Amino acid sequence: MRQSYIFFLVFILLQISCKKKEPVVNYEKEVFKQVFLNVVDSTYQDGRIYFKFPDGTDLETRKALLVKDTSKLVFAIHEEYGIDLKSYNNHKFVFKNFSEFPQKNKYEMWETKYKFGFAGALYFYPIQFNSKESGIIKVSYGCGTKCGADYEVSIKRINNKWIVDKVIQTGSI
Give which of 104, 93, 98 is closest to 76, Cα–Cα.
98
pLDDT, residue 30, reads: 95
CA distance 123 to 148: 11
pLDDT, residue 69, reads: 77
Give which of 133, 131, 128 is closest to 159, Cα–Cα.
133
- CA angle at residue 79 from 76 to 84, to 5 degrees? 80
pLDDT, residue 44, reads: 86
pLDDT, residue 53, reads: 60
The contacts found for 149-154 with CB under 8 angstroms, 24 or more apart, are: 149/43, 149/45, 149/173, 151/42, 151/43, 153/35, 153/39, 153/42, 153/43
Measured on CA atoms in the order 141, 144, 145, 149, is the torsion positive or negative?
negative
Question: Mean pLDDT for each consecutive 10-residue tract of the chain (173 residues)?
Answer: 54 53 76 96 79 69 76 90 94 92 82 87 95 95 87 96 96 86
pLDDT, residue 140, reads: 95
CA distance 91 to 72: 7
Give which of 113, 171, 111 is closest to 138, Cα–Cα.
171
Contacting residues for 81 by C-beta, under 8 A, at least 6 apart: 25, 28, 29, 32, 33
pTM for the model stands at: 0.76
